[in-house]
């Protein structure tokens, strides 16, 4: 694991919003953007978090440095820690740098050979509003990476400081551009001769023969090439620092111009690889030169149009001022009109300048020059096989590790599926359903989640490129998934591992038996239905008609009327107990026992708890009955009119609510 601070080259280009927009841009790639995490921000959405950070940065008006910290965390090829481990690594690194409470936004990227995280940190504290700049962050990051590698069992990376900062920059330039730096060229061509020089004259002669010159600059020495680039002498080797050279060779002696012929000269050329890149690099230089010339022509054209419009605006303004001069108005009015004319001219010129500034920016975007490595990537995506071979021949290119699929045959070039991207090491990443498959020329790997579509696509490509003998490397789960995908896809594949091949054949035989059994059972059911139909004649009747009898080959119904009366086969007697699926239906619901299962525990309530809290019992439903207890209901009975006395309903009486004893007796007599 490597953690590195990426500083901004120009302070005026520092912008937290632009950085977050870059790291969260998927660029229409399936494998680029992973999880995006917002930390220590009040907002939940990405745009609101950016505005929150920008507002916090604007509060601090005293800080003059860069207010944004860009941290990059990269892992070795083939290493994919889990989401929880990545989150803990981010938290530990930010806390170790002193940014534990600061606002930050991180994004996980998968579009290169190395899994990496971009972290955009706000240097301004959200509550104290002070800017924090860590001291010697590279040392702190190296120690933290060592601890985290040991804690989570990650691959050990050498975090010792083997190179100086300037040398590291030269190495980074080589990795990104693919061109040999001046430092590497000097070390390769004349380092031994420079180290063996015994005087200033010999040292200058060696440098001159190689098209170099040693000059004093500030408090040290620099080595400058004829084409312009220069490096510090101490970057080549520590023995070439000013102090050590003067100690070994005496006081510095300037170089006296000589007319000797130069043996070689530094030129920006591709790094030396196993393949010849002369033709491709010549094509690259021609394209870049053509692009540069077309860009210059377009810029000159834009500049001419802008000058023409500005001149037209100035002519119109001169005419306007001349008109103001001849009108017969007062001095104050003319002064106001002149001011309006000047303001209108300035506004129009600003509008014209903004318009053509946008056109220039669009032109730079369409005529953007690219490095040698980027040009190779573009050519490889367009199908240039030679460019792809150059990318795969770069130093440091390693085969894919982990869960991979490989064939025994020689790689064969053919049509490639939808390409998502191609890395600078020549690994092709193309889409396969919801996942992606990586191809380095020798092995295939299903990146991230191994989906069924991705596994089938990997097997199809392996069969197409390497033949039908496939080697599978990885975990036991991955091998089992590959076997299942191979069986389901029905590809003519043979695994080189005898255990995997035996397992594939067993699963295939089992599936074939199930299919045959299913087909046989379907066939038998169809035959049974046909026999039943022929035996019964019609679905609604057991008597075969004359037409049916003739159609199925039975005797004519006129001559054999009794013989065509048949019965259904397998008819059993009617039982007294219904089948299980017909038991406990609504008809017998009142006869079934009921079991009560309380959902919650039952407890006794204390004596001081109000009565309405406990479970309420059954209440009377007098509101549904006749109101027999009204005053005056028995007034006629008291007066002797002959009306029986009314009484309330009770459970033990054979009566109904609102009845009288006389009516009850009459009803009994009727019975």
Round to whole Å and give the CA distance between 535 and 84: 69
Which two three-digit tokens encode residue 195? 């180290």
Contact call for residues 247 and 254 (beta carbons, < 8 A): no
Q: What percent of the chain has pLDDT over 70?
A: 73
pLDDT recorded at residue 608: 66
Q: Across residues 86-109, what is the average pLDDT?
A: 94
Tell whether 405 and 520 lie within a shared domain: yes
Round to whole Å and give the CA distance between 144 and 97: 10
pLDDT recorded at residue 633: 64
Q: Across residues 615-644, what is the average pLDDT?
A: 65
Tell whether 148 and 6 lie within a shared domain: yes
Tell whether 217 and 341 lie within a shared domain: no
Tell whether 131 and 219 lie within a shared domain: no
Distances (CA, A) of 249 to 199, 202, 254, 438, 562: 5, 10, 13, 56, 133
Q: Across residues 312-317, what is the average pLDDT?
A: 94
Q: How confident is the model at residue 321 (pLDDT cuts 50, 70, 90)?
A: very high
Long-range contacts formed by 600-607: CB under 8 A, 24+ apart? none
Segment holding 107, helix H or strand E = strand 104-109
- In this predicted structure, the answer to whether residue 81 has a pLDDT above a threshold of 70 is yes
pLDDT recorded at residue 91: 94
Least confident of 23-27, 117-121, 143-147: 23-27
Could you tell me if residue 579 is inside a domain?
no
pLDDT recorded at residue 647: 65
Round to whole Å and give the CA distance between 37 and 46: 9
- For residues 168 and 108, the model is more confident at 108
How many structural domains compose the chain? 4
Tell whether 8 and 144 lie within a shared domain: yes
Least confident of 97-101, 307-311, 647-651: 647-651
pLDDT recorded at residue 585: 72
Boundaries of domain holding 326: 278-372
- For residues 614 and 254, the model is more confident at 254
pLDDT recorded at residue 610: 66
Q: Across residues 153-182, what is the average pLDDT?
A: 77
pLDDT recorded at residue 278: 85
Q: What percent of the chain has pLDDT over 90?
A: 24
- In this predicted structure, the answer to whether residue 59 has a pLDDT above a threshold of 60 is yes
Tell whether 217 and 285 lie within a shared domain: no
Round to whole Å and give the CA distance between 40 and 103: 5
CB proximity list for 666: less than 8 A, separation 6 or greater = none
Round to whole Å and give the CA distance between 116 and 106: 10
Phi, psi of 100 (to 5 degrees): -65, -35
Tell whether 237 and 285 lie within a shared domain: no
What are 532-587's pLDDT values in tens digits?
A: 555 554 444 444 444 444 444 444 444 444 444 445 555 556 666 777 667 767 76
Could you tell me if residue 621 is inside a domain?
no
Indicate the residue among 475, 508, 536 that finishes a domain.
536
Tell whether 245 and 290 lie within a shared domain: no
Could you tell me if residue 173 is inside a domain?
no
Could you tell me if residue 91 is inside a domain?
yes
Least confident of 312-316, 382-386, 505-509, 651-655: 651-655
pLDDT recorded at residue 558: 44
- For residues 331 and 639, the model is more confident at 331
Tell whether 231 and 303 lie within a shared domain: no
Could you tell me if residue 316 is inside a domain?
yes
Q: How confident is the model at residue 180 (pLDDT cuts 50, 70, 90)?
A: confident
Round to whole Å and give the CA distance between 494 and 504: 9
Q: Across residues 9-24, what is the average pLDDT?
A: 87
If one counts every other C-beta atom within 10 angstroms of the C-beta of residue 426, the result is: 22
Distances (CA, A) of 421 to 23, 32, 36, 40, 416: 17, 9, 21, 34, 12
Could you tell me if residue 571 is inside a domain?
no
What are 582-613's pLDDT values in tens digits?
A: 776 776 777 777 666 665 556 666 666 666 66
Round to whole Å and give the CA distance between 82 and 624: 69
Tell whether 145 and 190 lie within a shared domain: no
Q: How confident is the model at residue 529 (pLDDT cuts 50, 70, 90)?
A: low
Indicate the residue among 136, 152, 168 that finishes a domain.
152
Alpha-helical (H) ranges within 327-475 are 331-366, 372-381, 385-392, 452-466
pLDDT recorded at residue 260: 60
- In this predicted structure, the answer to whether residue 325 has a pLDDT above a threshold of 90 is no
Give all strands of the β-sheet with 404-407 in edge-to-edge order: 419-422, 428-432, 435-439, 443-447, 404-407, 469-473, 494-495
pLDDT recorded at residue 144: 93
Indicate the residue among 231, 249, 267 that finishes a domain.
249
CB proximity list for 259: less than 8 A, separation 6 or greater = none
Could you tell me if residue 661 is inside a domain?
no
Long-range contacts formed by 17-20: CB under 8 A, 24+ apart? 17/50, 17/54, 19/68, 19/70, 19/120, 20/46, 20/50, 20/105, 20/120
β-bridge pairing 404-407 and 419-422: unpaired
What are 461-471's pLDDT values in tens digits?
A: 788 777 778 88
Tell whether 356 and 408 lie within a shared domain: no
* Burial readout 96-120 (b: 16 or more C-beta within 10 A, e: otherwise): bbbbeebbbbbbbbbbbbbbbbbbb
Tell whether 357 and 461 lie within a shared domain: no
Which two three-digit tokens encode residue 481? 């998934």
**660 in helix, strand or coil?**
strand
pLDDT recorded at residue 310: 95
What are 344-386's pLDDT values in tens digits?
A: 999 999 999 999 999 999 998 888 888 888 888 888 888 888 8
CB proximity list for 177: less than 8 A, separation 6 or greater = 371, 372, 373
> Which among 455, 412, 413 has a CA at the least distance from the CA of 433?
455
Could you tell me if residue 99 is inside a domain?
yes
- In this predicted structure, the answer to whether residue 14 has a pLDDT above a threshold of 70 is yes
pLDDT recorded at residue 366: 85
What are 217-259's pLDDT values in tens digits?
A: 888 888 888 767 888 888 888 888 888 888 888 888 887 776 6
pLDDT recorded at residue 434: 66
Least confident of 20-29, 126-135, 347-356, 572-581: 572-581
Q: What DSSP character marks residue 413?
A: -
Residue-averaged pLDDT of the chain? 78
CATH number at residue 51: 3.30.930.30
Round to whole Å and give the CA distance between 33 and 112: 11
DSSP string of 7-44, one letter each residue: --S-GGG--HHHHHHHHT--TT-SSSEEEEEEES-S-S
Distances (CA, A) of 201 to 193, 247, 259, 264, 611: 13, 15, 14, 19, 113
Least confident of 118-122, 610-614, 626-630: 626-630
Least confident of 1-15, 504-518, 530-544, 601-615: 530-544
pLDDT recorded at residue 93: 94
Q: What DSSP character marks residue 449?
A: S
Q: What is the pTM of this model?
A: 0.65
DSSP string of 117-162, one letter each residue: EEEEEESB-TTT--B---TTHHHHHHHHHHHHHHHHTPPP---S--
What are 34-46's pLDDT values in tens digits?
A: 889 999 998 888 9
Q: Across residues 59-80, what is the average pLDDT?
A: 89
- In this predicted structure, the answer to whether residue 334 has a pLDDT above a threshold of 80 is yes
């Amino acid at each position: 694991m490597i953690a590195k601070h990426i500083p901004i080259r120009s302070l005026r280009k520092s912008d937290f919003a632009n950085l977050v927009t870059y790291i969260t841009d998927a660029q229409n790639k399936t494998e680029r953007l992973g999880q995006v995490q917002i930390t220590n921000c009040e907002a939940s959405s990405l745009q609101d978090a950016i505005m929150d950070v920008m507002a916090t940065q604007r509060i601090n008006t005293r800080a003059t440095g860069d207010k944004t910290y860009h941290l990059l965390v990269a892992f070795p090829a083939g290493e994919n820690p889990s989401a929880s481990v990545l989150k803990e690594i981010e938290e530990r690194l930010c806390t170790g740098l002193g940014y534990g409470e600061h606002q930050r936004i991180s994004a996980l990227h998968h579009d290169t050979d190395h899994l990496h995280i971009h972290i955009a940190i706000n240097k301004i504290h959200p509550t104290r509003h002070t800017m924090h700049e860590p001291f010697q962050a590279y040392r702190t990051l190296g120690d933290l990476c060592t601890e985290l590698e040991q804690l989570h069992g990650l691959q050990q990376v050498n975090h010792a400081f083997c190179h100086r900062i300037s040398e590291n920059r030269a190495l980074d330039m080589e990795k990104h551009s693919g061109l040999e730096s001046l430092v590497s060229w000097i070390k390769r061509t004349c380092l031994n001769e420079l180290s063996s020089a015994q005087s200033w004259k010999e040292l200058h002669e060696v440098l001159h023969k190689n098209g170099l010159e040693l000059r004093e600059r500030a408090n040290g020495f620099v080595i400058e090439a004829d084409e312009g680039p220069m490096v510090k002498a101490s970057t080549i080797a520590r023995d070439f620092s000013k102090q050590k050279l003067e100690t070994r060779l005496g006081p510095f002696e300037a170089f006296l111009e000589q007319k000797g012929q130069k043996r070689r000269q530094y030129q920006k050329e591709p790094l030396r690889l196993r393949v010849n890149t002369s033709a491709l690099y010549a094509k690259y230089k021609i394209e870049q030169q053509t692009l540069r010339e077309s860009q210059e022509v377009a810029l000159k054209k834009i500049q001419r149009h802008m000058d023409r419009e500005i001149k037209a605006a100035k002519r119109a303004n001169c005419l306007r001022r001349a008109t103001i001069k001849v009108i017969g108005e007062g001095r104050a009015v003319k002064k106001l009109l002149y001011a309006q004319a000047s303001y209108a001219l300035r506004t129009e010129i600003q509008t014209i300048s903004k318009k053509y500034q946008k056109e220039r920016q669009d032109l730079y975007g369409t005529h953007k020059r690219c490095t040698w490595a980027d040009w190779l990537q573009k050519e490889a995506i367009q199908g240039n096989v030679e460019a792809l071979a150059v990318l795969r021949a770069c130093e440091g290119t390693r085969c894919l590790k982990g869960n991979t699929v490989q064939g025994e045959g020689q790689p064969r070039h053919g049509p490639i599926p939808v390409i998502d991207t191609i890395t600078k090491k020549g690994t092709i990443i193309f889409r396969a359903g919801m996942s992606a498959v990586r191809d380095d020329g020798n092995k295939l790997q299903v990146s991230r989640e191994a989906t069924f579509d991705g596994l089938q696509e990997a097997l199809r490509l392996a069969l197409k490129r390497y033949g039908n003998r496939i080697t599978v490397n990885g975990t036991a789960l991955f091998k089992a998934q590959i076997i299942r995908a191979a069986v389901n896809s029905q590809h003519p594949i043979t695994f080189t591992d005898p255990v995997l091949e035996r397992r594939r054949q067993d699963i295939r035989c089992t599936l074939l038996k199930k299919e045959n059994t299913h087909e046989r059972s379907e066939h038998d059911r169809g035959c049974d239905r046909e026999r039943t139909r022929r035996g019964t004649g019609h679905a609604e009747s057991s008597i075969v008609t004359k037409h049916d009898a003739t159609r199925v080959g039975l005797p004519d119904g006129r001559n054999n009327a009794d013989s065509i009366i048949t019965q259904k086969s397998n008819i059993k007697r009617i039982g007294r107990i219904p089948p299980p699926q017909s038991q406990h239906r609504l008809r017998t619901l009142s006869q079934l026992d009921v079991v009560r299962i309380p959902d919650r525990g039952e407890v006794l309530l204390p004596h001081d708890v109000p009565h309405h809290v406990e479970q309420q019992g059954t209440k009377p439903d007098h509101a549904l009955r006749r109101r027999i207890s009204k005053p005056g209901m028995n007034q006629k009975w008291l007066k002797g009119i002959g009306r029986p006395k009314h009484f309330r309903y009770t459970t033990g009486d054979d009566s109904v609510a609102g009845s009288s004893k006389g009516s009850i007796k009459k009803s009994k007599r009727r019975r």
